[in-house]
Structure 1
Amino acid sequence: MTTISDRLGRMTRQAQAKGRIPAVSAALHRADRPLWTCAVGGTGNDTPLDEETVFRIGSVTKTFTAALVMQCRDDGLLDLDDPVGRHLDLPAHGELTVRRLLSHTAGLQREPHGDVWDSLRAPAVEELLADLARAERVLPTGRRFHYSNLGVALLGELVARRRGGTWAEVLADRVLTPLGLAATATVPGERAATGHLVDAYSDEAHPEPPTDFGAVAPAAQLWSTASDMARWAAFLADPAALDPAGAVLAPATVEEMRWPLTTTDESLWAAGFGLGLILVPQPDRVTHVGHDGAMPGFLAAVYGRRGGAGTAGAMGCAVLGSSGAGVEVLDLAHALLAAAAEHDPAEIEPWRPGPPAPAHLRGMLGRWWGEGFEYVFSWHDGALRARGADDPAGKPPAVFAPLAERPDVFRTISGRESGELLRLTRDEHGVVVRMHWATYRFTRAQETFGGYDFRAGG
């Protein structure tokens, strides 16, 4: 019988062979199973290829810089709508906001001034800042998505200045160490694979030169193992499982980072961008959240999985490859996550009876009508909830939290109309006869906006 490990391993070997990638390392993290790893090929040097081999992860680095920025926000050191010039002395573009730079909607040019990909010499911090006056605003701010390594480099320096250390020091102290990502670093160390470009018309795999990205390190400098990156992907999908105390980020902050702020293509909505994170929608209301990475000789894909009936808690996958042209790496992470959820789904938790709804709410549960549509209000898992009567099964309900000082008023904390109030109106006997949700009237019978009751005929 084929096991899930066999299946995932075969998929990894197929991708390595099809993509002609000298080395591929893959890992899958989930809360309910041991870590799965697979390494195929060779490092291209004298070190063995195994789960401890490190690869350049390129722009996956941006997700770490984004986390550091959000930590600063949560600690009151900045606001996402601050102009970056409030925190850095810049000769130009200081009016661009932190939020715009995080979501790649600032319009700033992609790279620092100069042909860095020809020279493979990245500027030092002071040079990068001084040359900002020579960098273009290639699009109006907020017009559309435009990827910018330069923008993320500015955010990395902002974090360093606000924390009083280098970006690398702050990253190690505030993210890598708390999450146990011991193999992740700004330098390759002794267990690194060699990056290659594989010739399109022969089997030659030519080594790429090593590069240090200098002041642009916050956008692309890191090296890591697939195991470390699968753990990081799991954190992005389910932070409470890996960081229950919120030492790195509160779950609500990671949720904010995952909210899509823009699409990457105006016609094909196949991917979105949040605050430093790429969001890739999958069938059945599943989302993969993370980032891809590319540097000379290396490609990486690091994604966590959210939603879906078979998805386990803390589910994350990383695929790292030592070929700059081995694009199979980028699809494999998504395929491994989907295969694991389908062929080795999370266990189904049995339903168990729970306590009754509070006495003052029992009479208002059931079906209500608003705007001509029917809704069902219920009490589950200790909270008041509401769903459209015709909502598909996988659509999350609206969830309400009571306001302590107003017993018949609730705040919508997730789902439809999140943030809006729900107000209950009772008759002289204490029976809830009307509700207002986001100011729209809800009644037990279907009514027009003018108050015509179809059941009563007037």
Structure 2
Amino acid sequence: MTEVHRRLERMTRQVQAAARVPALSVALHRADRPLWTFTVGGTGSANPLNGDTRFRIGSVTKTFTAVLVMQCRDDGLLDLDDPIGAHLDVPAHGELTVRRLLSHTAGLQREPYGDVWDTLRLPDVDGLIADLARVERVLPPARRYHYSNLGLALLGHAVGRLRGGTWAEVLADRVLDPLGLSATGVTPGPAAATGFLVDAYSDHVLPEPPTDFGAVGPAAQLWSTASDMARWAAFLADPAAVDPAGAVLRPGTLDEMRMPLTVTDETLWATGFGLGLILLPQGDRVVHVGHDGAMPGFLAGVYGRRGGAGTPGAMGCAVLASSGTAGAIMELPHQLLAAAVSDDPADIEPWTPGEPAPERYRGLLGRWWGEGFEYVFTWRDGALRARGADDPAGKPPAVFAPLPDQPDVLRTVSGREAGELLRLTRDEQGTVVRMHWATYRFTRTQETFEGVDFRGSAPA
């Protein structure tokens, strides 16, 4: 066992003991090291606790449903701004859009109609849809973040209708099988951990009743292992490494899902929410992306890590617990990810010389001025890039790509002013003498907006 693994194991043991978790299973996935797994505790049955033990992952299920929705969008089966009623025959709330439901900004009430947490009896699909006539829209759409299991359930059933199957069938065919998540499914299997409620004032535990979430399954039904979920977290953070062929989803689509659309608390901007994904900034341009899960007797935290010095590719962590009240485990995946990078950062790849910039762009490399600020244009990794001269080292550059058949007009494909055009102006000798980026003029010397520089030249 390495020193890094000893530290991760000790961190896990400390949380299990302090939070009094009957069974705790963790896994850490990264592209440059073997999978690390660890378990502590017992299953609550004759079955031994090991890396194959399944736990309820609750709302982590929503990330799978979100990926299925984005697959449908990429395949042209729906648009994110379509009303849900265009894809599901509903008696009410059909005007709420796919995007709003996916980002929990539709204003739909949290749960299906009725006191489902009292009865633990969930409706079938027909009943869920019929009961929409009695469901409230508790906030106007786009007003603020309001979490809704019901909203994600509707999206899951819309995906099933569009694909010609049930949500569970489509999930297995289009996500679980292609990614090799063979231990993930809608049933616990024969060797699952028992979920417990731990008494607040003694060491006694009581088993929570097993629940089938019925038609709300697309929001919370799945069971899985820590190793499967660590791989899933790695996929959400770095799909190009986990799924290089793009069999499940294009990396650009995951980029879109990770773009924050709202904050979860309007007074404390600590957590963002994208398209079905929780986004937790960690400082120094690091973000953890994934989801938490809670069901009777179970808690789960499944997150991938992106950005920052030392972060390897395909890094994901899963923490699965058989206690419904051990809130401390929700911080453990973030602590394990940070410790793994701190103690065992990714190897530094050596720089190697590359090809020169195309002759057409060589003359524009170097320093330019726009809006009174200095920028540096370079050619790196086969693309034109730009950075503010005073940008911090970790800030990503703007990256450009020429338009087809218009080599002097380039699109900003990422970074500052993403989506905007960069236009090059050349003199009679073909030298680039001026550029316009997002319509702002860029020149070789610092100039006023009237075109006067400090050497006293006339306005351009």
Structural mapping, 1:193-232, within 5 Å: 193-232=193-232
Q: Distance in 1 between matches of 2:92 and 2:414?
A: 40
**What SS does structure 2 have at the residue aligned with 1:401?**
strand
Q: Deviations over 1:357-388 (max 9, x none)?
A: 11111111011111111110000000000000
Q: Distance in 2 between matches of 1:260 and 1:24?
A: 31
Aligned equivalent of 1:240:
240
CA drift of 1:285 comes to 0.3
- Per mean C-alpha deviation after superposition, the further-off stretch among 381-390 and 350-359 is 350-359
- Per mean C-alpha deviation after superposition, the further-off stretch among 448-457 and 379-388 is 448-457
Q: TM-score, normalised by structure 2?
A: 0.99
Structural mapping, 1:286-325, within 5 Å: 286-325=286-325
**What SS does structure 1 have at the residue aligned with 2:178?**
coil
Aligned equivalent of 1:38:
38
The RMSD of aligned alpha carbons is: 0.9
Q: Distance in 2 between matches of 1:244 and 1:294?
A: 31
1:64 aligns with 2:102: no
Q: Distance in 1 between matches of 2:108 and 2:447?
A: 52
Aligned equivalent of 1:344:
344
Q: Are the aligned partners of 1:446 and 1:455 in contact in 2 as well (CA < 8 Å)?
A: no
Q: Distance in 2 between matches of 1:27 and 1:455?
A: 62
Aligned equivalent of 2:405:
405
Aligned equivalent of 1:431:
431
CA drift of 1:327 comes to 1.0
1:176 aligns with 2:176: yes
Q: Distance in 2 between matches of 1:454 and 1:271?
A: 46
Aligned equivalent of 2:148:
148
Q: Are the aligned partners of 1:25 and 1:39 in contact in 2 as well (CA < 8 Å)?
A: yes
- Per mean C-alpha deviation after superposition, the further-off stretch among 447-456 and 243-252 is 447-456
Aligned equivalent of 1:100:
100
Q: Distance in 1 between matches of 2:426 and 2:17?
A: 69
- Per mean C-alpha deviation after superposition, the further-off stretch among 218-227 and 445-454 is 445-454
Q: Distance in 2 between matches of 1:410 and 1:155?
A: 38
Q: Distance in 1 between matches of 2:36 and 2:227?
A: 8
1:129 aligns with 2:129: yes
CA drift of 1:261 comes to 0.3
Q: Distance in 2 between matches of 1:124 and 1:101?
A: 20
Aligned equivalent of 1:114:
114
Aligned equivalent of 1:91:
91
Amino acid at match of 2:36: W
CA drift of 1:205 comes to 1.1
CA drift of 1:269 comes to 1.1
CA drift of 1:270 comes to 1.0
CA drift of 1:191 comes to 1.4
Q: TM-score, normalised by structure 1?
A: 0.99
**What SS does structure 2 have at the residue aligned with 1:422?**
strand
**What SS does structure 2 have at the residue aligned with 1:319?**
strand
Structural mapping, 1:5-16, within 5 Å: 5-16=5-16
Amino acid at match of 2:34: P
Amino acid at match of 1:204: H
1:191 aligns with 2:157: no
Q: Cα–Cα, structure 1 residues 164 and 41, in superposed 2: closer, same or farther, change >3 Å? A: same
CA drift of 1:456 comes to 3.5
* Structure 2 spans left out of the alignment, 5+ residues: none
- Per mean C-alpha deviation after superposition, the further-off stretch among 270-279 and 1-10 is 1-10
Amino acid at match of 1:153: A
Amino acid at match of 1:313: G
CA drift of 1:457 comes to 5.5
Amino acid at match of 2:202: S
- The 4+ residue runs of structure 1 with deviation greater than 6 A are none
1:327 aligns with 2:327: yes
Amino acid at match of 2:65: T
Amino acid at match of 2:88: L
Q: Distance in 2 between matches of 1:215 and 1:404?
A: 48
CA drift of 1:2 comes to 6.4
Aligned equivalent of 1:454:
454
CA drift of 1:328 comes to 1.6
Q: Distance in 1 between matches of 2:454 and 2:302?
A: 54
**What SS does structure 2 have at the residue aligned with 1:305?**
strand
Q: Are the aligned partners of 1:445 and 1:455 in contact in 2 as well (CA < 8 Å)?
A: no
Q: Distance in 1 between matches of 2:362 and 2:249?
A: 37
Q: Deviations over 1:298-337 (max 9, x none)?
A: 0000000000111000000000000000112110000000
**What SS does structure 1 have at the residue aligned with 2:385?**
strand
Aligned equivalent of 2:382:
382
Q: Distance in 2 between matches of 1:305 and 1:2?
A: 22
Q: Deviations over 1:266-292 (max 9, x none)?
A: 121111000000000001000000000
CA drift of 1:404 comes to 2.3
Amino acid at match of 1:364: L
* Structure 1 spans left out of the alignment, 5+ residues: none
Aligned equivalent of 1:420:
420
Q: Distance in 1 between matches of 2:311 and 2:197?
A: 35
Q: Deviations over 1:3-41 (max 9, x none)?
A: 111010000000100110000000000000000000000
Amino acid at match of 2:329: V
Q: Distance in 2 between matches of 1:363 and 1:76?
A: 42
**What SS does structure 2 have at the residue aligned with 1:35?**
strand
**What SS does structure 1 have at the residue aligned with 2:139?**
coil
Q: Are the aligned partners of 1:302 and 1:316 in contact in 2 as well (CA < 8 Å)?
A: yes
Amino acid at match of 1:444: R
Q: Deviations over 1:238-269 (max 9, x none)?
A: 10111111110000111111100000011211
**What SS does structure 1 have at the residue aligned with 2:375?**
strand
CA drift of 1:74 comes to 0.6
CA drift of 1:450 comes to 1.2
Q: Deviations over 1:151-192 (max 9, x none)?
A: 001001100100010100000000000000000010001110
